[in-house]
Copies of this chain bind each other. A is one copy, B any other.
Amino acid sequence: MSENSFGRLLRVMTWGESHGPAIGCVIDGCPPRLKLSEADIQPWLDKRRPGQSRYTTQRREPDHVKILSGVFEGQTTGTPIALMIENTNQRSRDYGEIAQQYRPGHADITYDLKYGVRDYRGGGRSSARETAMRVAAGAVARVILRELIGPQLVIRGALTAIGAEEVDRANWDWAQTEQNPFWSPDSEIVPKWEKQLDAVRKAGSSIGARLEVVAEGVPAGLGAPVYGKLDSELAGGLMGINGVKAVEIGDGFAVSCLRGEENADPIRPSDDPLAPQFLSNHAGGILGGISTGQPVIARMAIKPTSSILVPVPSVNRAGEAVEVRTKGRHDPCIGIRAVPVAEAMMACILADHVLRNHAQCGWL
């Protein structure tokens, strides 16, 4: 365990600052003899990449990932897989103001309070740029899951609300998420979101969002009591994504209003004793911290981008009052680009639990 790594058997450590020479990660614990190349990783990075529509930051980065170790002749060798992306789009500019002022809602002030120093260029370590490496690690985790569990395990994410505009679940179609710049599963809401975001951007403001990640085909038995619960680790992992302020598993907050019989997921006989049949899934696929075989469902709320043109009172490093307006290229809704990041975290955590479960219980 370290402050910049996660996972127990599939261990991911990331490094790098937004405007340093590169960002990277090291993935330790990957099983050997899995086919892996940059072509397995790059498409997921492209999915996350900014600048693909007018609704995300216009910072354009090719984000070409390189595999530096752990793969030989197209196969994983069981040794650490080092991935790196060079930062090519560091605009040379004057950081004078941002270097001295604390942008409200950002980690500027807390990094300074903690460390007494910070790389202020583009947010440094606290930049969402770090999440590119989560996506890269998630791509490796997907390869592991595909090889060890099979193609029936499918992880998909969707944006479910921008501000108060929520998708209509009756229209839910996973295929739609690839057809619009918002990962919306509901094609009908897309024009409303476009209109809303255009207004937000014009106002120099930003807006919050909600999103959902679903893993189908997860085998029963992943997770562990008491401090290795699958839902506990998902909550920790997803809350750690930049801007996330809430995480739900299954019905989440709604369960607080339910009666016991309403919340119960009845179980029915099944042909496969390892795959029980449930009549509902309020639990989000997890009971007692362990997967039931039903879809694992997690939902998140993401705050509006803190970088806005609307001025907000703040202080500078000298402790003096200032007004901060954050110029530059920013996503009006960071929730959009969080979708592939949340998928990646789900993939990493599931792959880690597959290995952990195999170690302890895979001896039959």
Contacts and interface: CB of A to CB of B under 8 A. Distances in A.
B264 A312 contact: yes
A277 to B, nearest CB: 8
A303 B258 contact: yes
Contacts of A356: 3, 9, 359
A341 to B, nearest CB: 12
Interface in A8-55: 8-9, 11, 13-17, 20-24, 26, 28-33
Contacts of A3: 28-29, 224-228, 356
A291 interface: yes
A247 interface: yes
A321 interface: yes
A256 interface: yes
A80 interface: yes
A75 B302 CA distance: 33
Interface string A248-292: 111111111111111111111110011010010011101111111
Contacts of A252: 245-246, 301
Interface residues of A, number: 158
Contacts of A251: 245, 303
A170 interface: no
Nearest to A283: B105
Given A79-B125, A114-B78, A68 B15 contact: yes
Contacts of A257: 163-164, 208
B358 A245 contact: no
A102 B260 CA distance: 16
Contacts of A238: 235
A31 B114 CA distance: 11
A284 to B, nearest CB: 7
B68 A290 contact: no
B303 A255 contact: yes
A120 B321 CA distance: 57
Nearest to A6: B227
Given A77-B119, A208-B263, A253-B253, 18 more contacts: A14-B226, A14-B227, A22-B82, A76-B117, A77-B118, A77-B125, A107-B287, A110-B221, A113-B221, A126-B289, A163-B257, A208-B257, A226-B240, A245-B253, A245-B284, A256-B303, A263-B306, A264-B308
